[in-house]
Amino acid sequence: MSSDAVGRHMPPVVTLDDLTAMMAADEHHRYEISPEGVLSIMPPPGYAHAIIATRLMVWLAQGGVPADRIAQAVGLRIPGRLGGVGGRIPDLVVWSKAQADGVWLPVADVLLAVEILSPGSEGIDTVTKHNEYAAAGIPQYWVVDQDPAQTVTMHRLDGDHYTVRATMPLAWVLNTNPAEHDLG
């Protein structure tokens, strides 16, 4: 499809309903939108990315976090400062309680959002989402690099911004108990 055809059919203001329809029509891309209306289109995650998310999910479940409080690649409704609403899809989310079914879930009960860096996502994951998740009040934000150590940088909300609590290889994280990280 040409950019001309896409531009002709793009609504002037993209809503979360529009985003849902785009994702339903295109299984080859992941769509997100900032609270200010900036649309991001990314390819789906690769195998290494999926394995990191799965390892974290299994670790959480084995550590006692109920399965209905953990999800991969689920949409979060991100409130904006000026009343706008964005939609982000973290690679992994942990909630304090089970959520109602839906495409774009509220952030009120989110304990942790995890993003796994992929080629091209570094800026959005380490700056844009970092700021949006902090403004939304998500208590913890972890970023996992796909470097050889699969380095995990753990951010904790301190007022209205994140501070780095720890940086360690994923293997070290997986040898701890999720309860040590306020996730249980």
CATH of the domain at 90: 3.90.1570.10
CA distance 106 to 101: 11
At 123 the pLDDT is 87
With respect to residue 53, please indicate whether it lies within any of the assigned structural domains.
Answer: yes
With respect to residue 57, please indicate whether it lies within any of the assigned structural domains.
Answer: yes
Cβ contacts of residue 114 below 8 Å, gap of 6+? 53, 56, 90, 91, 92, 93, 141, 142, 143, 144
With respect to residue 167, please indicate whether it lies within any of the assigned structural domains.
Answer: yes
User: pTM for the whole thing?
Assistant: 0.91
pLDDT averaged per 10 residues in sequence order, the chain, 184 residues = 59 87 87 90 90 97 96 93 87 96 94 93 90 96 97 96 96 95 78
Total of domains in the chain: 1
At 178 the pLDDT is 94
Torsion over CA: 128, 134, 135, 136 (sign): positive
Cβ contacts of residue 125 below 8 Å, gap of 6+? 115, 117, 143
CB atoms within 10 A of CB 41: 12
At 183 the pLDDT is 78
Tokens of 59: 């670790």
- Owner of token pair 């959002």: 113
Identify residue 151 by its one-letter amino acid code.
T
Find the domain containing 67 and state its range. Answer: 46-179
With respect to residue 33, please indicate whether it lies within any of the assigned structural domains.
Answer: no
With respect to residue 105, please indicate whether it lies within any of the assigned structural domains.
Answer: yes
With respect to residue 5, please indicate whether it lies within any of the assigned structural domains.
Answer: no
With respect to residue 119, please indicate whether it lies within any of the assigned structural domains.
Answer: yes
With respect to residue 55, please indicate whether it lies within any of the assigned structural domains.
Answer: yes
- Owner of token pair 């209205």: 160
CA distance 163 to 7: 40
Among residues 32, 31, 74, 72, the alpha carbon closest in space to that of 53 is found at: 72
At 63 the pLDDT is 95
